[in-house]
Structure 1
Amino acid sequence: MLSRRRFLTFSATGMLAATAGCRPQHLDLLLNLEGSTTSAELSLAEKAKLKRFKDLMLGYPVNMNTPPEDFFAWRRQLQDAGIGMFPYNNVGNPFQASPFPFNTHDFERELIRNFGKVYAFPPDDTWGFLSHSGTDSNMHGMYMGRTLLKARTGMIPKAYFTCEAHYSVQILRDLLGLETVFVDTLPDGAMDPADLESKLAANPDYPALVVATIGTTFKGAIDPLDQIRQKLENHPNYLHLDAALFGGYLPHTDRANEVLQQTADSSARYDSIAVSCHKFFGFTSPAGLFISRQSLFDEFNELFSRIHNPEYIHHVPGTITCSRDGVKPAEFYFYSTPSALTKQAEDAGNMLRNTTYLMEQMQRHLPPLQPIRANEASNTIYFRKPADNIVRKYSLATMHLNSEQGKQEYAHALVMPHVDRHIIDEFLTDLEHDLSSGS
């Protein structure tokens, strides 16, 4: 299996050889580059220096590994064919013929079918497209749910999600004009099915548009899909999964059932799913998978045609966005090939093993930081916020969370595929030094 190229610009002396209690040598350069300038003011030469620190990214869900050479070879083949060399546009439904010949709908259809298999969608009942981002995919899922439920019941649905859901869900709720019903969470940050049941009972006349999160943004919790579905059985509903990060790697683990669309008896477990391409996969620019059932999309698209039926593209597009990137689907197609899926399984295993290692080391050596991992399928560990220089060095995200001592500031670390034991050990060393110095 091809390995990803890593640490291309690190010096031969080894920039990761930080010893306990010593200030990492490359921290000075990083801080000097920050200085008083903004990233917009950095020269190309300074930006080139910054790429030396890409493997120190721990605070946000981005796979900073350089894609394998095969990906760039595939990109060159696409360029040789003209894709990306002049305007390509995937306007419309990729499963319908387009009057605009310069598109990559064929690649888009194939990658949706390939990932449809990964998420156990029925092979003959799968529809989707490559969106501009995970948020774009969530928007389509929520709009699709609102449209279907309103048509089926005559009532605009209420949106059900937790305060741990990604902030974009609240933006989309506002954009779609939906009233929100916030569902309480369990101690780990996952949606509480009992509270969902209670909230549904309190709103019997309104259909429920439920956004479940598979891997909450800060805590890495997994909403209990089957329990949520069970609570929805006697209530008109549409269930959309925001699986932006976890949806990339969970199919390759023993927790694959968290994102599979069908049960063993072929019952549907959810209606649509959103997965980000630039997070676990390491695709080099933002994009998102949106996948649903073809039959569900057909029902939606008939309703959509009453709003938007542009004769001049010869079909109802079924997507909110009109013009869509024609280059990204062809490039991301690479990640749906058998060799790429094999690599994703390898990355998923290494990533979760390294997360376990980080958690064990923090529990053993850094108990004052109170590290928490929501579940064994999570690559996220959150803990009491360390010193600002560590937050800056590793680009840690921080939030105020409730604790026994009241509101406390926490940070989290995400062990993405680029985060190996060397990076983890350097991070642990910095944290130990921070604690020992009383910062």
Structure 2
Amino acid sequence: MLEQKEVKNQLSELYKEINETTENFIGYPVSKDFDYSELLPFLQFPMNNIGDPFGKSTYKVDSRAMEREVVRFFAELFRIKPENSWGYVTNGGSEGNLYGLYLARELYPKGIVYFSEDTHYSVQKNVTLLNIDYVIIKSQENGEIDYEDLRNMLQYNRHRPAIVVANIGTTMTEAKDDTKIIKGMMEELAIQKHYIHGDAALAGGFAPFIYPRPHFDFVDGVDSISVSGHKFIGSPIPCGVVIVRKENRDRIARNIAYIGSSDATITGSRNGHSPLFIWYAIKKLGLEGFEDRTIHSLKIAEYACDRLNEIGIKAWRNTNAITVVFPSPQESVCEKWQLATEKGQSHIICMPNVTKEQIDTFISDIENMK
């Protein structure tokens, strides 16, 4: 066993290290401007939201009431009728994607999944886990799905059900696939058995507050949508929310006597603290707070893009994106600012906590390290 002093020293070192690395953290979509200190007393309880958040359970040390409010909030945000909506708080966007694909497979066991080459790696991992056939579609230069290539593949396989994963903010360029176009394509090709899942891990928290509003939600054709909680909202624990059509969820629900509840979730036992964090953030921010965070992030992204171009770096961003893409700078800059890099391109993501001062320091580092 470690002595108490050694334990304290290790914790002190870890705290110092994390405190320093958090300061220079603009390369990944994680908000850090949160304060959940009011919720600290709840860490002493073994909170477990096992099973269906909308059902009863014999396990009552939970935050189900808050989880239901979180689901209703996002259901309204994503424009699905309350009576036909269901969802739960997940461990993150990857689980939400797995859940959407799981529902689609149960509805259409012979379906083919289509997703672009810019899709998050979790989707290919999930279709492998679920043993579903898939086709990777080309991407346009900005990272958005190539609709013509998608149409050709759908037409070629139109005798089989189509399951399309639409990116509502790709990992590198924050490109948003238009689900209204994809839905219309299915109808034009007379593919009656189809399913669209929206991977809105990044943009789901702010897309409803962008004007003009992108096509990405239930009104625009999706059957399920996944969003991360630790990204735009911010949370000390990775988490997310998945919203689906209740009629589809009812196809897979099972009653579990041991917990006294039905369960249609992936994991069964689920951490009861994450729903509490998201609920708290929603209550503190309100719709106005979400809109303010969106406006701030967009302004900072515009500022960052302009500043990079001013010093001769060809930076760009998709329309109304908070992600700024540019040729990868020196390795020392990438290392310090923890920049995600792919094929010679890097990006910064202007989450609500990013300031003009941080951008100026980042620009200064690029200039000084040349």
Normalising by structure 2, what TM-score?
Answer: 0.91
Tell me which of 52, 55, 59 is aligned to 2:23: 55
Are the aligned partners of 1:334 and 1:340 in contact in 2 as well (CA < 8 Å)? no
| Distance in 2 of aligned mates of 1:43 and 1:89 | 27
CA distance 1:380–1:111, shift in 2 (3 Å): same
Equivalenced residues, count: 359
How many Å apart are 1:339 and its aligned residue?
3.3
| Distance in 2 of aligned mates of 1:161 and 1:42 | 44
Tell me which of 317, 328, 333 is aligned to 2:279: 333
| Distance in 1 of aligned mates of 2:100 and 2:153 | 22
Partner of 2:3: none
How many Å apart are 1:371 and its aligned residue?
1.8
| Distance in 2 of aligned mates of 1:42 and 1:227 | 53
| Distance in 2 of aligned mates of 1:426 and 1:312 | 56
Deviations 1:285-314 (Å, cap 9, x if unpaired)?
10110011222322x23xx54xxx433333
| Distance in 2 of aligned mates of 1:149 and 1:229 | 17
SS in 2 for 1:147: helix
How many Å apart are 1:255 and its aligned residue?
4.1
Q: Which amino acid aligns with 1:140?
A: Y
Partner of 2:64: 105
Q: Percent identity?
A: 30
Partner of 2:223: 271
How many Å apart are 1:53 and its aligned residue?
4.3
Q: Which amino acid aligns with 2:237?
A: S
Partner of 1:371: 315
Are the aligned partners of 1:250 and 1:377 in contact in 2 as well (CA < 8 Å)? no
Are the aligned partners of 1:149 and 1:157 in contact in 2 as well (CA < 8 Å)? yes
Question: For structure 1, which runs of at least 5 residues remain unmatched after alignment?
Answer: 1-40, 151-155, 264-268, 401-408
| Distance in 1 of aligned mates of 2:61 and 2:277 | 15
Q: Which moved more, 1:234-243 or 1:247-256?
A: 247-256
How many Å apart are 1:412 and its aligned residue?
1.2
CA distance 1:100–1:393, shift in 2 (3 Å): same
SS in 1 for 2:44: coil
Tell me which of 218, 223, 244 is aligned to 1:261: 218
| Distance in 2 of aligned mates of 1:103 and 1:165 | 34
| Distance in 2 of aligned mates of 1:90 and 1:237 | 32
Deviations 1:223-247 (Å, cap 9, x if unpaired)?
1111111112221111100010111
Partner of 1:122: 81
Q: Which amino acid aligns with 2:366?
A: L
Q: Which amino acid aligns with 1:376?
A: T
Tell me which of 6, 12, 15 is aligned to 1:44: 12
How do 1:157-168 residues align onto structure 2 when only pairs under 5 Å count?
A: 157-168=111-122
SS in 1 for 2:201: coil
How many Å apart are 1:44 and its aligned residue?
2.1
| Distance in 2 of aligned mates of 1:102 and 1:248 | 28
SS in 1 for 2:87: strand
CA RMSD, Structure 1 to Structure 2 (Å) = 1.9
| Distance in 2 of aligned mates of 1:257 and 1:165 | 18
Q: Does 1:289 align with 2:235?
A: no
| Distance in 2 of aligned mates of 1:220 and 1:42 | 38
Q: Does 1:198 align with 2:141?
A: no
How many Å apart are 1:361 and its aligned residue?
1.9
Tell me which of 247, 253, 260 is aligned to 1:314: 260
Question: For structure 2, which runs of at least 5 residues remain unmatched after alignment?
Answer: 1-8
| Distance in 2 of aligned mates of 1:335 and 1:125 | 25
How many Å apart are 1:279 and its aligned residue?
0.6
Normalising by structure 1, what TM-score?
Answer: 0.78
Structure exhibiting the larger radius of gyration computed from Cα positions: 1
Partner of 2:368: 433
